[in-house]
Structure 1
Amino acid sequence: MVALIQRVKSSWIKIENKEISHIGIGYNILLGVMKEDTEDDIQKLVKKIVKLRLFPNSEGKMDKNILEVNGEVLVVSQFTLAGNAKKGNRPDFTAAMPPKEAKELYETFCKELAKHIPTKTGIFGAMMEVGIINDGPVTLILDSKKL
């Protein structure tokens, strides 16, 4: 499971020009679910995300976690994080989990994260416009297999 985490001042999702989700300060998380992912991957990522210290303290040093700044999270399903462009010019997405199973793990991830942090989501599999106002910018890629 791969999470691309962006520290944001705000983030939102629109579908057909209608805003369906919006957060203020926090993280925009693009989540890619891979074929071999399990509930264990969810627990590893959630634990790490809750404790990550990506927000500045009074001296400007990244020393505060999302809970300490009363932040929120916007989670967006993003199967293209499984893309491999090693051969040719068209990415190969065979490492992505099939949609039915991926949706279940995505929803479980969001529910587990929401136990700790106010969490909003997009709609799994939908074509979405995702807006962000980066803060920093600060962007981090977490791979559950490397935690």
Structure 2
Amino acid sequence: MKAVIQRVTKASVSVNGETVSCIGRGLCVLIGLKKDDNVVDMEYIIRKILNTKIFEDEKGKRWSTSVMDNNYEILCVSQFTLYHQMKGNKLDFHRAMPAADSEPFYNNFLLELGKKYKPELIKDGKFGAMMQVLIENDGPVTLEIESPIKTS
């Protein structure tokens, strides 16, 4: 499981010209799921989203507080293209979790994120839709986090 986390002053998601979600200060998180992801991967990514010290504190000290410390919003957007491979100039998505499995997994991820944080502060796009994501990156600050590789 992979998350591209961006610290934002605001972000929104639109589908067919209609805004479906928007947030103020917080995090916009692009979520990629791969075929063998499981609950352990989900818990790891949730922990990192909620606890990574990505914001300044009240005295202006950088990298001191998390989204949870500040009660900021989180906008999650499913993005299967995070698990692409290049085959020459062509994109291959065989590592990504199939849509039939990924939609319930992603919905469960949102549910679990809400259990660990405040569900009213968590927004998302529209799974499987062509979305326009507007992000006002703050910093800019962008982190890529991936759950650890499993060993057999």
Which TM-score band applies after superposition, normalised by the shorter structure? over 0.9
Please list, as runs of the form range in 1=range in 2, the aligned pairs for 1:11-30 lying within 5 A after superposition: 11-30=11-30
More deviation in 137-146 or 74-83? 137-146
Residue matched to 1:97? 97
The secondary structure found in structure 2 opposite 1:55 is coil
Aligned with 1:120 (options 96, 119, 123): 123
Please list, as runs of the form range in 1=range in 2, the aligned pairs for 1:21-100 lying within 5 A after superposition: 21-57=21-57, 58-85=59-86, 87-100=87-100
Report the TM-score when normalising by structure 1: 0.94
1:6 aligns with 2:6: yes
How many aligned positions are there? 146
The secondary structure found in structure 1 opposite 2:14 is strand
Aligned with 1:137 (options 135, 140, 146): 140
Residue matched to 1:111? 111
| Structure 2 segments unaligned to the other structure (5+ residues) | none
RMSD value, Cα: 1.4
The secondary structure found in structure 1 opposite 2:6 is strand
Report the TM-score when normalising by structure 2: 0.91
Percent identical pairs in the alignment equals 39
